[in-house]
Chain A
Amino acid sequence: MKSGSFYVSTVGRVLKWARANSLWYTSTGAGCCADEVLNASGNRYDLERFGCVPQVDAKQADLLIITGMISYKAAPHLKAVYDSMPSPKYVIAVGACANCGGMFAPEFSYSAVPGADRIIPVDVYVPGCPPRPESIMNGLIALQEKINGTGRNHHKAQ
C-alpha cells in the first residue's frame, strides 16, 4: 500500500471521526431558538455526549450554531465571527429565522436578512419555529454524518 492511500483511507477516517465527535460550538445566542439550543445542551437532551461542547470564544470553536433573526446591521459581525473560527469549520442554522428570515420575512421587514446562507455557507438547516431539542440533536447528527461521509442524502440520489 502506498503511503498516500494509507493517509487518505485510514488516517483520513480517524481524522473525520475525531472531528465529527468533537464539534465544539459557539452560538449566536439570538432569538427564541437560543433557548432551545440551551435546552439541547442541558441535562435532559445532553448534546455534550456527542462531543458538542459550548465555547465562548469563536477561535476555539469548530461549529457555529446560528439562531434567531439576523439584521443587516448584525450581518458583518456574524461574518467576522465566522471568519475568526479556525478551519475546518461548520455551520448549523437553527430555526426558520436563520434559515430564511422566518416570520421576519423580507416581505414584512426591512431589516431582516433572508437567511444566514446569504452571508456565510451553511452546512445543515434545522427547520422549525422553534425546532425541538430533538431536531437540533438530529441536525448535529446529520452534520456528523456529513463529516464522516455517511450522509443521509440517499433519497436524493435515488
Chain B
Amino acid sequence: MELAAIITKLNKAAPGAVLQKARFGRGGAQAIWIEARALPAVAATLRNDPDLKLDWLENLSVAQLEDALVITYFLRSRETPLCAILRATVTLNENESPAELPEVPSVREIWPMARSMERESSELFGIRFGGELAAAGILPKGWRGFPLRKSYVFPQEVFGIAHSRQGTDHA
C-alpha cells in the first residue's frame, strides 16, 4: 500500500491530523508529520485498520531542533509488509516549571512496547507522555535537569567527583 493511501485513511479517520509528508533523513523513506494532539487517533487507526495493521512500534526517538522537540515513531507490521514513520513536534518553553513541561499524548495503550521508550525519553528530555513525568531509573537518583536538551548545563561536580579534567596529572 502506498503512503498516499495511508494518508487518505488517516485523513478520513482523524481529519486535520496530517500536516504534511516529508522525506526522512537522507534515505528514500517518507515521514508523515502529524499534530501531536491527534496522536492517539492516528495511532489507533494505524494499529487497527485491517489493511494497515501497523502493530509493532520498532523505535521511538526524540531530537531537539531549535526550540522544538521532534518525536519520531518507527512503525512496522507483523502481518503486512508495511512500515511507516510518524513525526510530531512539541514546542519547548525553557525555564518552565514542572507543570509546564511539554506534553505529548501517550501511545502505550496502543503499542505496549511504547511504555519503556516513553519512560526513557521522558526522563532524558523532560516530556510528559500522557501528562506524567516518568522516572525510568536510567539517571542516578537525585539527578537534576534533562541532560539531552540543548540547554542542559553540565554539572560542575557529581557525587563529589569534579566533572572536569582540571586538577589531575592528566589535565
Asked if B158 and A72 make an inter-chain contact with CB atoms under 8 angstroms apart, the answer reads yes
Asked if B140 and A100 make an inter-chain contact with CB atoms under 8 angstroms apart, the answer reads no
Question: Does B161 have its Cβ within 8 Å of any Cβ on chain A?
Answer: yes
Residues of B within 8 A of A113 (CB): 161
Which listed residue, A73, A106, A110, touches B165 by the CB 8 Å rule?
Answer: A106
Question: Does B164 have its Cβ within 8 Å of any Cβ on chain A?
Answer: yes
Main secondary structure of the interface of B (DSSP, over half): loop
Q: How large is the interface on A (under 10, 10 to 19, 20 to 34, 35 or more residues)?
A: 10 to 19
Residues of B within 8 A of A144 (CB): none
Question: Does A114 have its Cβ within 8 Å of any Cβ on chain B?
Answer: yes
Residues of A within 8 A of B162 (CB): 114, 118
In the assembled complex, the Cα of A118 lies from the Cα of B164 at a distance in Å of 11
Asked if A117 and B168 make an inter-chain contact with CB atoms under 8 angstroms apart, the answer reads yes
Task: Pick from B5-13, B42-50, B147-155 the stretch touching chain A.
Answer: B147-155
Asked if A114 and B165 make an inter-chain contact with CB atoms under 8 angstroms apart, the answer reads yes
Main secondary structure of the interface of A (DSSP, over half): loop
List residues 118-167 of chain B with CB under 8 A from any CB of chain A. Answer: 139-140, 147, 152, 154-155, 158-159, 161-165
Proximity bits, A90-131, B CB within 8 Å = 1, else 0: 000000000111000110001101110111000000000000
In the assembled complex, the Cα of A111 lies from the Cα of B162 at a distance in Å of 12
- Nearest-neighbour CB distance to chain A for B161, whole angstroms, equals 5
Pick from B154, B168, B170 the residue with the most CB of A within 10 Å.
Answer: B170
Asked if B161 and A75 make an inter-chain contact with CB atoms under 8 angstroms apart, the answer reads yes
Q: Which B positions have Cβ atoms within 8 angstroms of A? A: 139-140, 147, 152, 154-155, 158-159, 161-165, 168, 170
A115-B170, A119-B161 given. 19 additional CB < 8 A pairs?
A72-B158, A73-B139, A75-B159, A76-B159, A100-B165, A100-B170, A101-B165, A106-B165, A110-B147, A110-B152, A110-B154, A110-B163, A111-B147, A114-B161, A114-B162, A114-B168, A118-B161, A118-B162, A118-B168
17 cross-chain CB contacts under 8 A:
A72-B158, A72-B159, A72-B161, A73-B139, A75-B159, A75-B161, A100-B165, A100-B168, A106-B163, A106-B164, A110-B152, A113-B161, A114-B162, A114-B164, A114-B168, A117-B168, A118-B162
